[in-house]
Structure 1
Amino acid sequence: MLISSSVATWTDSGSSSNYPLCAMAFYHSKLSSSSHKMEPFIVSYHQRSEFLKLSSFHSFLHSNLKLRSSLKSRIIPRKLHEPHALVITNEYPQNADFPRHYSRKEKKPFPIPIVELRRAARERVKKSKGQPKGRVPPPKNGLIVQCLVPLAYDVFNARITLINNLKKLLKVVPVHACGWCNELHVGPEGHPFKSCKGKHATLRKGLHQWTNAAIEDVLVPIEAYHLYDRLGKRITHAERFSIPRIPAVMELCIQAGVYIPEYPTKRRRKPIIRIGRREFVDADESDLPDPAPEGPLKPLLTEIPISKAVAPTNEEEKTLLAEETLQAWEKMRKGAKRLMQMYHVRVCGYCPEVHVGPTGHKAQDCGAHKHQQRNGQHGWQSAVLDDLIPPRYVWHVPDMDGLPMRRELRNFYGQAPAVVEICVQAGAAVPDQYKSTMRLDIGIPSSVKEAEMVV
């Protein structure tokens, strides 16, 4: 046993005598191989001071902590390895419901509820009160967004590539269309489901009358008016026949910067000058140099006629063509969705009419449910991607060479967009975002009795 002592000295101001205050002893364990030296500490006291000054107290604590750490470092705790469950996350759900089908008597829902739009408008007014108005960004000021011009060319070429490849795939992949409704089916023969809602459907007990499908059945032709000036006056009812109509995706690309000589459009080089809420004048561009002759930024593709479309000769060519078609489909949809975030697209809430521009046209040609009460005018609202590019969902055939689809097992089959189903049947891999509705992980019973046993 080793005992070390230290003497504290009481120092009084005005006297030089030292008095022993206390003695401290420390006991060290026998396990330690060497003694731990302690430094003496002095407590100085002044008569008029309000606190004590411990000069070496911090060094004492530091030495004591070193002793504890040296003792604890020799004790190795046992680590219990507990099993952890492996969790695999995916941004897409495993199973999802089919897209809802709206009847002709039902209005489309707003992408953002009216209550949320009004709340956001009140917040904007509240924040902008008492602050100077900032500059209006493009394309609201009449200029185009320069960073989106290459994307517009890519979307335009992706659409042409998609159309040309589908014309080739339709010659090797059987696609059927109902002659009385807009139902499609990709497979050697039409499905047996009684879901026809066309003319004389009750006489046929809901059965479809299948015919060969065309490219217009797979890609729904959504057209819109071509605007020479995107910020100009709205199209009136009397001008509805004098203004050309082109595909809506093409019109969106033209307004985003694609140059097509057949469809000229006004390109401003200076922002507009706002006079009122809906009135503006163009800025004077006489001080600017003469504009350079406009031309396409990238080479534009052209559509090929159906007679010149050459079908793939072997399975390898068909698979490569299907992969390229699927990539063009995704490229067109993703690019169009990004363009729609900057350039407004409107859709009628009652019919599929689409208008590319800040406000809808005034043509009174809506023939949807109760259009007489609106005098044929459209109910314009913000469009979503499926309004501009309808996916046209069809039933997914699990095995082309297997048993045909049965009417009693309808709840076990999945659905996919027609373009995706055609590419998958041609040999392309299934994209992750469509696996949830195709129900690939659901086993299909072999008989009706087995289906009745499913809980």
Structure 2
Amino acid sequence: MESLRKMMRYGVLCSGNPRRLYATKVDLKKLRPMILKRIEKRAHTYPVRGMVPVANEVLQVRNDLIHGVSTLLNFLPLMACKFCPEIYIGEQGHLIQTCSGYKHRAKNRVHEWIKGGLNDILVPVETFHLDNMFQSVIRHNERFDFDRIPAVVELCWQAGADFHDENLNSSSWNLEADNGSVPETESLSPNDLTSIANKTLTAWETLRSGVEKLLLVYPVKVCKYCSEVHVGPSGHKARLCGVFKYESWKGAHFWMKANVDNLVPPKIVWRRRPQDPPVLLNEGRGFYGRVPAVLDLCSKAGAVVPAKYNCMMKVQAS
């Protein structure tokens, strides 16, 4: 009864006719400057000081990873499919029928192998370079006014990494250019090669864990239907989505939260074990291991693989 009296006192119930409560009408013209001011204040809290060492470390290990993979490719053969992104680390490609091919080609065919390169293992992921995280949204007609740089580099840039440090100036902005700058390594001993493989695998693990830490603090978006990445709180407006299925949207991206695989793709490959045939056959595809290409490359050079990958590698005989 006491609660009923209170409701009637405030006019919620009155003579059997309840009074409707409406939300206050918001004037968006007055609200917009307040929102922009709040965003501007928020920008002053970035970069987060505690994450600057992480960003510097990510840049350094990215440089180590590129040089390490480039060196290992001088000693271990890499095959790439002529018609799809599939790669294989070995003298000759496998016979597993997983070629997706071009549109006019039949699916699930045997791959046609050619010599692969650095970009086949470390897949380039580029994004627009911004002056700061909260820069105004990039319009479609403004897309040529911004440089395209590696997404990991852009993330570290926004996280406050010191690009003027002499140890970081060697970080490659172009993978293929860096591949050509690797010094001659013909005189490396097996022990030296194993050491490089271990350092490269450590750099790979550190890079992915570092990027994962940065993604907890800095917003990064990825398109739901293609591989486009944008480092910032909201995606750009450039209509670059190449998925023809969504032509009615005029190439606009559908943005969602990105994860570490979107910035550092693992590029999964088939792995041959000692008990497997010299050339992997399509009939045994259910028994072969599937691991990141960097991991397979380093393990073939003698690196010690972490135990967490044993399940993927299927080290036990089938």
Identify whether the pair has TM-score above 0.5, normalized to the shorter chain: yes
The structure 2 residue matched to 1:225, chosen from 112, 115, 128, is 128
2:108 is equivalent to residue 239 of structure 1 = no
In the other structure, the counterpart of 1:311 is 185
CA shift for structure 1 position 297: 9.1
2:52 is equivalent to residue 149 of structure 1 = yes
In the other structure, the counterpart of 1:198 is 101
CA distance in 2, matches of 1:195, 1:401: 18
In the other structure, the counterpart of 1:60 is none
Asked if the contact 1:396/1:413 (under 8 Å) is kept, the reply is yes
> 2:54 is matched by which residue type in structure 1?
L
CA distance in 1, matches of 2:140, 2:98: 37
- CA change 1:237–1:344 in 2 (3 A) is same
- CA change 1:240–1:406 in 2 (3 A) is same
> 1:301 is matched by which residue type in structure 2?
S
Q: Residues 98-137 of structure 1: matches in 2 within 5 Å?
A: none
- CA change 1:390–1:297 in 2 (3 A) is same
In the other structure, the counterpart of 1:10 is none
Q: Which has the higher contact order (CA 8 A, sep 6+)?
A: 2
CA shift for structure 1 position 259: 3.4
Asked if the contact 1:222/1:354 (under 8 Å) is kept, the reply is yes
The structure 1 residue matched to 2:226, chosen from 336, 345, 351, is 351
The structure 2 residue matched to 1:373, chosen from 221, 235, 248, is 248
2:66 is equivalent to residue 163 of structure 1 = yes
Q: Residues 24-43 of structure 1: matches in 2 within 5 Å?
A: none
> What root-mean-square deviation, in Å, do the aligned CA atoms of Structure 1 and Structure 2 show?
2.3
CA distance in 2, matches of 1:362, 1:324: 40
2:315 is equivalent to residue 433 of structure 1 = no
Q: Structure 2: any 5+ residue segments left out of the alignment?
A: 1-37, 173-177
CA distance in 1, matches of 2:312, 2:170: 33
CA distance in 2, matches of 1:375, 1:404: 45
- CA change 1:299–1:156 in 2 (3 A) is closer
CA distance in 1, matches of 2:120, 2:42: 34
CA shift for structure 1 position 174: 1.1
- CA change 1:251–1:390 in 2 (3 A) is same
CA shift for structure 1 position 411: 1.1
CA shift for structure 1 position 417: 0.3
In the other structure, the counterpart of 1:382 is 257
- CA change 1:299–1:192 in 2 (3 A) is closer
The structure 1 residue matched to 2:236, chosen from 348, 354, 361, is 361
Deviations along 1:340-392, whole A, 9 cap, x unmatched?
A: 10000100000000000011000011111422221211000101111111100
The structure with the largest alpha-carbon Rg is: 1
Q: Residues 225-374 of structure 1: matches in 2 within 5 Å?
A: 225-260=128-163, 295-296=164-165, 299-303=168-172, 304-311=178-185, 313-374=188-249
CA distance in 2, matches of 1:410, 1:317: 34
In the other structure, the counterpart of 2:24 is none
CA distance in 1, matches of 2:205, 2:166: 22
CA distance in 1, matches of 2:284, 2:42: 51
CA shift for structure 1 position 397: 1.1
Aligned identity (percent) is: 38
Higher percent of residues as helix: 2
Q: Structure 1: any 5+ residue segments left out of the alignment?
A: 1-134, 261-294, 445-455
3-state SS of paired residue (1:381) = strand
Q: TM-score, normalised by structure 1?
A: 0.57
